[in-house]
Structure 1
Amino acid sequence: MDVTRFDNEISLAEAASDHILQAIQQKPDLLLCAATGNTPTLSYQKLVEKASVFPLDQLRLFKLDEWGGVPMEHSGTCETYLQQYLISPLRISTDRYFSFQSNPADPEQECVKVQKMLEQQGPIDLCILGLGLNGHLAFNEPGEYLQPHCHVAQLTEASLGHSMAQDMEGVKLYGLTLGMSDILAAKEIMLLISGASKVEITKRLLEGKISTQLPASFLWLHPKVKVYVVTNFSNDE
């Protein structure tokens, strides 16, 4: 695990966007798996700014996870986020975008469908992740065991308290997510961490102790993980 510390979110975003763009330049049809949330937003915005002079007509995008039980057009879905910050500005066509539907008739079959997509398109070349307050990655929540592949996740209170879910009251939310094996099969992983609320969980992660109670700790098993962390935390996930 290669840990780089930054003084502020702007410096982190500059470095992260540079690395993503370099990866795309080296492999134009890169399969990028992208997390959502406040932490990666500035990195994506910087990527869009820098990518304007490069052709990205082969870049492929895979959705990491999704809130289940709400319409795709809901303002809080990962779909809405990705459309706003990556798909629309980078002009990623529908044939190069692979996604969970947020309100499928059969959530389990939706996971089967997405797993087949990943098998056909993968492995993921670069996976961008954020760190949950309880140590989750995507919607792989802490527990006695972790799921290896795409699955329907029962969300913890920590996840349900996320800012993206604030306008989803009254909905029985669940998670749709890639599994830990899917994530760890990525050729390279970039974990972005910022936010005052992440200080303690970041300390736990960097201790290097692997536990299903801290899913992000499994990143220690991967040979190529970059962790970009803001040491002067000033915003929440």
Structure 2
Amino acid sequence: MTQIADGLARVRARIRAAEEQYGRPEGSVELLAVSKTKPAAAVREALAAGQTAFGENYVQDARDKQEALGPGDARWHFIGPLQSNKTKLVAPHFDWVHSVEREKIARRLSEQRPSNLPPLNVCIQVNVSDESSKSGLQPAAVPTLAHAVADLPNLHLRGLMCIPAPAEDFDAQRAPFRQLRELQEQLVREGLRLDTLSMGMSVDLEAAIAEGSTMVRVGTDIFGARD
């Protein structure tokens, strides 16, 4: 077993243990392997170990990997801050975007998504910890954007994403994830059909799963330290 395959196995075991501990069905939490800064060879190793979903922060870095790997089973998730001048590359070459926070960006993604592809899956990024250094909408602003995004023809609004401030205490870790879940529940009551909570990373995935995460984003514990 390669180092990457071993890392994947350990993270999957953590996810499964948390599913069991917090009464979540087996397989209800998807692993998104964050491959940013890692070479195409590392993604190829992960693919060989059965991982198909990969998270990228940098558009050109991801495009280089996509071109090196060619067509295949990989599904590409853009998880970094997205500027207007990058939507033209993201719209046709990714399956998901987790970091929508402006209607302008959402409209550009919808307009630039090729008609021969299925709608682009998107999540709205929420700044649950009110950190000035973090991207994402304030929670109060999310419903207006969510309804606008849901009406765009070439996007499929799937749910919400957050990157909370670090916390060591387990209850403190759970609090922002609970806030995101409750916000999503509010949107569902307003008529939106959402199924994704993209929350939890290496240090806090158990807390995220306890609060309803459906997708955890893990990089270092799979691929090793960032290059």
TM range (shorter): 0.3 to 0.5
Higher relative contact order (CA 8 A, sep 6+): 1
TM-score by structure 2 length? 0.34
> Relative to total residues, which structure has the larger helix share, 1 or 2?
2
